[in-house]
Amino acid sequence: MYKSKYDENDFKINLFNAIYNEDIKKVKELVNNKMAVSNEFAAIPLNEHDDTPLHMASILGKENIVKMLLKVRANPNCMDDIGYTPLRIACSLGNKNIVNITPIMDKE
């Protein structure tokens, strides 16, 4: 059985840092590594508010990361602990670059 070289906590920390720093190469590496273990990588909350990688990239306005996550089938309709989708968060924060690339993300 394939074992991830990252434990769950390391994965979350490393993925958050890669998203924050807009390190596409590192995000791809982490996502590909996690997908080899589980197809549910994108639903893994990165913090206590149930923000997924797509939520975090939307919050931070990281357009290239959002595009990459959507290409690997991150669920754009998943909700955080208060029911916000990544698109709703991007709208509320005024991250127009994210809103413009994700017109079909939200089905509210």
Each domain of the chain, given as residue ranges in start order, spans 8-101
DSSP state of 7: -
Task: Give pLDDT tens digits along the chain (108 positions).
Answer: 344 555 777 888 899 999 999 999 999 888 887 664 555 555 676 777 788 889 999 999 999 999 988 888 888 888 899 999 999 999 999 999 898 886 555 444
In the prediction, which pLDDT does 2 show?
42
Q: Please state the pTM of the whole predicted model.
A: 0.78
In the prediction, which pLDDT does 66 show?
92
In the prediction, which pLDDT does 35 show?
60
CATH class of the domain comprising 8-101: mainly alpha
- Residue 4 in tokens: 């991830």
In the prediction, which pLDDT does 6 show?
53
Give the separation between CA 37 and CA 39, rounded to whole angstroms. Answer: 7
| Alpha-carbon distance values, 64 to 61, 92, 98 (Å) | 9, 20, 9
